[in-house]
Amino acid sequence: MCSYIVKKAALAGSAKGPKGWMTIDTANIYYDHPYHAPFDHALNIDFINEANGGRERVALELSASAARELVRQILAALETGEKEHGLAGVSADDNAPAYLT
């Protein structure tokens, strides 16, 4: 049974899609049946530019264990990078949008 539960995160960044680099402002995150990955269920993330209509996207389909490992490594890279650059405990981008649910 599909839940159709989608979480949204407001972002500020770029992603490289089939037509090259694009600005992204939203990630749609959901745990459901993947389109391509060989799993019964996957954590799916679509990076889009909602302000431009969201017609282009960069998509990820990850196993649950891969998604958890990715989260751990993202947090570790942020912590290490912020310490190296003297930004520990300080937001590097005070204008970054807050997360949405």
pLDDT digits (tens, 9 = 90+) for 18-42: 999 999 999 999 999 999 999 999 9
1-8 mean pLDDT: 80
Task: Kindly tell me if the per-residue pLDDT of 101 is higher than 50.
Answer: no
> Where is 60: in which H helix or E strand?
strand 57-62
pLDDT digits (tens, 9 = 90+) for 43-90: 999 999 999 999 999 999 999 999 999 999 999 999 999 999 988 766
Confidence class of residue 92 from pLDDT cuts 50, 70 and 90?
low
Count CA within 13 A, CB hemisphere, residue 47: 16
